[in-house]
Amino acid sequence: MMKLKGFLLACAMLVSGATAAQVRDMPGGPAVNQLNLSTGVTEIARDVAWLHWMMLIICLVIFLGVFGVMFYSIWAHRKSKGAKSASFHESVGVEIAWTVIPFLIVIGMALPATRTVVAMKDTSGSDMTVKVTGYQWKWGYEYMDGPAEGVKFLSAMSTPLAQIENRESKGEFYLMEVDNPLVVPVGKKVRVMVTAADVIHSWMVPDFGVKQDAIPGFLRGVWFRAEKVGEYRGQCAELCGKDHAFMPIVVKVVTEEEYAAWAEGEQKKLAALADDPNKEWTAEELLARGEQVYGAQCVACHQANGKGVEGAFPALDGSQIVLGPMADQIDIMLNGVEGTAMQSFANLNDVELAAVITYARQSWGNGGQGQDPVVMPAEVAAAR
């Protein structure tokens, strides 16, 4: 019933022309009632559009020729007009001619196409490389070199569910907007290495003339050199399951200065995410970080509730070591406990160790009641 209502509402909106008035060409995406390939912003996209026009015109000419003849004979050679049928039924010359001439036409079509195929495949001499990974149902981007080297993030559709379910009116970039667009500099040859983590996806940006299947277990390279600043949009183009229609691609092409600034900002964020031992950590920050570390490193033995497993792994909740002076706990973390399953966790960095110790001291029944409720990374560093 709700669906029907939504449908009727959508129909009513369309009929009233409300939507028609609102829907405008999407910058970097499809235009309203677009009829042909977009000329795009790369040489390849322009070449493809040119090839398509060439093919279209040649086909149209042949079409008009052949069907001109056919419709002429339909009009002129009909029984009701007294047409008597002729008796010819083969002509070697004619049949050879209409085998050879199309062959020559096809060669004429293949030549310019060959040039474009070779150009599309040539990823050499690129200025930068981005790795793209398809996931169900989002994209992962990773910068392999240049100022943004090491930057990586996930990019998912940002259109709200309410718009998809017709509870809200649809936005300007409906289905073709993401939270984190891929950012690249203008005029640079960007090599894109495409792969996937689960099933086959396809990374498509029509304005770049790029479509590359993302295949698990394989890295496939394509490239583009965007000539104009702007945002360019595409969508996943290989059926990849339930949310196939909901994993758009947005590439933001910026000037080189903007790109450098963006890369710097991302590097800073990356550094911030990485643990900085010299930073002054607050108890809250340590607690939050510690919970992550605990979840990854400790929970298997000591359990989420800190009670451990009776007889095998000691409880941390109410443990004398956790409630006692920090030096003992730091020592156990760094050196382990001989003869038990408690190994050395010296491979963790100082921040992680300080955080997870703080977390243990603050959690469950411990509640920060013991000695040294908060342990700073510097203290772990000193104890190493």
The footprint of other proteins on residues 54-83 (CB under 8 A) is 55-56, 59, 62-63, 66-67, 69-70, 73-74, 77-80, 83
Residue 210 has phi, psi (to 5 degrees) of -115, 130
- Residue 328 near other proteins by CB under 8 A: no
The span from the CA of 215 to the CA of 195, in Å, is 5
Q: Which residues pair with 132 in a beta bridge?
A: 141, 194
Contact code string over 2-31 relative to other proteins, x by CB under 8 A: -x--xx--xx--x----x--xx-xx--xxx
Q: Which is nearer to other proteins, 113 or 374 (CB)?
A: 113
212 Cβ partners below 8 Å, 6+ apart?
192, 194, 202, 203, 204, 220, 222
- What count of other Cβ atoms lies within 10 Å of the Cβ of residue 236? 25
CB of 79 to other proteins, least distance (A): 5
- Residue 241 near other proteins by CB under 8 A: yes
CB of 135 to other proteins, least distance (A): 13
Q: Which is nearer to other proteins, 168 or 264 (CB)?
A: 168
The tokens describing 26, both together, are 């999407």
- State the angle between helix axes of 283-293 and 350-362 in degrees (0 to 180), rounded to the nearest 10: 100
Q: Which is nearer to other proteins, 212 or 329 (CB)?
A: 212
Which of 102, 265, 325, 367 is in the footprint of other proteins by CB under 8 A? 102
Residue 250 has phi, psi (to 5 degrees) of -125, 125
Q: Which stretch binds other proteins (CB under 8 A): 90-98, 292-300, 308-316, 368-376?
A: 90-98
Contact code string over 185-214 relative to other proteins, x by CB under 8 A: ---------x---xxx-x-x-x--x-xxx-
Per CB under 8 A, contacts with other proteins among 272-311 are none
Q: Which stretch binds other proteins (CB under 8 A): 87-95, 144-152, 293-301, 303-311?
A: 87-95
**Residue that the structure tokens 């939270």 belong to:** 179
Edge-to-edge strand list for the sheet holding 128-135: 152-155, 138-143, 128-135, 190-196, 220-224
The span from the CA of 250 to the CA of 122, in Å, is 23
Q: Which residues pair with 205 in a beta bridge?
A: 210
The tokens describing 48, both together, are 């493809």
Residue 220 has phi, psi (to 5 degrees) of -120, 135
CB of 126 to other proteins, least distance (A): 16
Residue 219 has phi, psi (to 5 degrees) of -110, 125
CB of 220 to other proteins, least distance (A): 3
CB of 260 to other proteins, least distance (A): 31
CB of 252 to other proteins, least distance (A): 18
Q: Which is nearer to other proteins, 96 or 299 (CB)?
A: 96
The tokens describing 198, both together, are 């689960």
- Residue 99 near other proteins by CB under 8 A: yes
- Residue 88 near other proteins by CB under 8 A: yes
Per CB under 8 A, contacts with other proteins among 114-173 are 114, 116-118, 120-121, 163-166, 170
User: β-strand 190-196 against 128-135: which pairing, if any?
Assistant: parallel
The span from the CA of 311 to the CA of 244, in Å, is 50
CB of 177 to other proteins, least distance (A): 10
Which of 1, 17, 21, 87 is in the footprint of other proteins by CB under 8 A? 87
Q: Which is nearer to other proteins, 214 or 380 (CB)?
A: 214
Q: Which is nearer to other proteins, 98 or 145 (CB)?
A: 98
Q: Where does 195-255 have alpha helices with state H?
A: none
Which of 132, 176, 254, 348 is in the footprint of other proteins by CB under 8 A? 176
CB of 61 to other proteins, least distance (A): 11
- Are the C-beta atoms of residues 6 and 19 closer than 8 Å to each other? no
The 3-state DSSP class for residue 211 equals strand
Per CB under 8 A, contacts with other proteins among 219-238 are 220-222, 234-238
- Are the C-beta atoms of residues 153 and 180 closer than 8 Å to each other? yes
Q: Which stretch binds other proteins (CB under 8 A): 88-96, 269-277, 306-314, 318-326?
A: 88-96
